[in-house]
Chain A
Amino acid sequence: MEIKVLKNILSANDEIAERNRALLDKNNVFAVNIMASPGAGKTSLILETIRRLKDKIRIGVIEGDITSSVDAEKVGKEGVPVVQINTGGGCHLDANMIQNALGNMTLEDIDLLLIENVGNLVCPAEFTIGDHKKVLVSSTPEGHDKPFKYPLMFHTVDAVLLNKIDLKPYLDFDLEIFSQAVKGINEKVEVIPISCIGGQGIERWLSWLLIQMGRKP
């Protein structure tokens, strides 16, 4: 006997993600899922964001990058609460991991939760975790054809931060082609060229972020 099922394999994950979001909402925490290839600048962006915003809003961080606890230590030095997730070599964060991490945080004391996802452009696009906004950090040395290689990721996010714009003079990176490709697959996305080293575009990223949070930039 054949039974029609038609059930999304990721539905169990999606259900936990919904619960995560409800928990965050209840505590007025705004969560941002930060995704990128390894080395694109996720940790640098988180550090820069903390330094510039920590006097204004209370920030917490979930570190999911597999590389080591080095990132968590760097973030911890900035004096914000940070929880390290051990994905056990996994290629993405899932809703269950976030649920456990949230259980280890004092959510009442956090306004903005920055989540560093595992460095990977495939799987994190498919696994919902319960965030409010998804941000992709893409960097100039990775080339302007990244959107064509990872359409699902570029299609999924709310903002694309093009990092390492300071290196552009040394590369054959074409900003026009990149922006068009990104907008082509994701009409509403915000594309913001930034440099976590030189500081270009960081103010624009922060205003975008604060507006998403419903605050004055």
Chain B
Amino acid sequence: MHELAITQSMLDIVLDQAEKAEAERVLAVKLSVGELSGFVEESVQFYFNFLVKGTIAEGATVSFTMVPAKARCRNCARVFKLKEFDWSCPDCGQDSIEITDGKELFVESIEVE
């Protein structure tokens, strides 16, 4: 998977923000990760620990908030949690949807000092 490239982009954002805030150290990074994004947490932490060496983010922890996949029914507009192998709306039973949540890949916030 592409976790190395993603982790590098994530670290670029983190260091850029930390620099703007004139921080001396980054202590923690919070990410928002959509369920549909195919993102593997373990390998991100692994690559992160490797890539931060020698930067002000060395030793920082990475935590993830998983965003569940959700969809809006095109018939009745009900928003519901996407089930596996089924698009059908719990209200009206139609199976035509628009994905609303679950694609995110965000740096939420960072903790610095």
Residues of A within 8 A of B (CB): 1-13, 90-92, 94, 122-123, 126-127, 145, 148-149, 151-152, 155, 180-181, 183-185, 187
Contact = CB atoms under 8 A, between A and B. Distances in A.
Nearest to B71: A185
Nearest to A149: B85
B51 interface: no
Interface in B25-49: 31, 36-38
Nearest to A122: B38
Contacts of A180: 95
Contacts of B92: none
Given A185-B97, A187-B96, A5 B87 contact: no
12 contacts: A1-B21, A2-B109, A2-B110, A3-B23, A3-B111, A7-B17, A90-B2, A122-B1, A126-B103, A127-B2, A184-B97, A187-B74
Given A1-B23, A91-B1, 17 more contacts: A1-B112, A3-B21, A3-B23, A5-B109, A7-B13, A7-B107, A8-B106, A9-B13, A9-B105, A9-B106, A90-B5, A94-B5, A123-B1, A123-B2, A126-B103, A152-B99, A152-B102
Main secondary structure of the interface of B (DSSP, over half): mixed
Size category of the B interface is: 35 or more
Contact of B108 (A4, A126, A127, A148): A4
Query: Which label, helix, strand, loop or mixed, suits the secondary structure of the A interface?
Result: mixed
Interface in B76-109: 82, 84-87, 95-99, 102-103, 105-109
Nearest to A13: B9
A91 B43 CA distance: 15
A71 to B, nearest CB: 21
Contacts, number: 100
A148 B1 contact: no
Contacts of A122: 1, 38
Given A3-B112, A4-B109, A12 B12 contact: yes
A152 B103 contact: yes
Given A151-B99, A185-B87, A12 B112 contact: no
Contacts of B106: 5-9
